């Protein structure tokens, strides 16, 4: 049968409208470049800092200490190879830093910073 119809041919009716908190926001990718941040209001009146672009990452080195380093390039993105070509930073992406290659462990678009761990 057609989408949105019962087996008898009748239509499904919407029970209620979406609440303001249920709205889906547009996905904004975090690119490599000069740092830009945007503050947005979320549920409960709280504020979330979203990154639009960034150059610096907090990389955890082998001694267990976090070091600020600059990001040179996005080497590989397991989720989608086209994101690596566009230098878009997402969780799980392998980036090239001054310390070496590192894997992003957080979600930069949701948290406002880039956290990474060195890989061999």
Is 7 within the bounds of a domain?
A: no
Integer Cα distance of 34 and 45 in angstroms: 29
Is 34 within the bounds of a domain?
A: yes
Residue 43: what pLDDT? 86
Is 37 within the bounds of a domain?
A: yes
Residue 18 has pLDDT above 90, yes or no: no
Is 13 within the bounds of a domain?
A: no
More confident residue, 113 or 14: 113
Please tell me what DSSP assigns to residue 20: G
Whether the model clears a pTM of 0.85, i.e. scores above it, the answer is no
Integer Cα distance of 113 and 54 in angstroms: 8
Residue 2 confidence class, pLDDT cut points 50, 70, 90: low
More confident residue, 57 or 1: 57
Residue 4: what pLDDT? 79
Taking residues 58-67, what's their average pLDDT? 93
Residue 6 CB-density burial (10 A; 0-12 exposed, 13-18 middle, 19+ buried): exposed
Is 57 within the bounds of a domain?
A: yes
CATH code for the domain in which residue 33 is found:
3.10.290.70
Q: Which domain holds residue 47?
A: 22-118
Backbone angles phi, psi at 114, to 5 degrees: -115, 120
- Count of domains observed in the chain: 1
Please tell me what DSSP assigns to residue 100: S
Is 38 within the bounds of a domain?
A: yes
Half-sphere exposure of 82 (CA within 13 A, CB side): 1
Question: Do 106 and 113 meet the contact criterion of CB atoms below 8 Å apart?
Answer: yes
């Amino acid at each position: 049968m057609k989408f949105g119809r019962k087996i008898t041919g009748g239509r499904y009716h919407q029970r209620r409208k979406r609440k303001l908190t249920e709205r889906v926001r547009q996905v904004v990718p975090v690119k490599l470049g000069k740092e830009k941040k945007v503050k947005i209001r979320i549920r409960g009146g709280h504020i979330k800092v979203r990154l639009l672009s960034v150059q610096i990452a907090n990389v955890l080195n082998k001694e267990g200490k976090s070091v600020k380093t600059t990001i040179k390039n996005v080497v590989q993105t397991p989720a989608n190879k086209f994101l690596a070509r566009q230098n878009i930073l997402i969780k799980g992406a392998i980036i090239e830093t001054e310390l070496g290659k590192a894997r992003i462990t957080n979600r930069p678009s949701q948290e406002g910073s880039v956290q990474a761990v060195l890989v061999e």
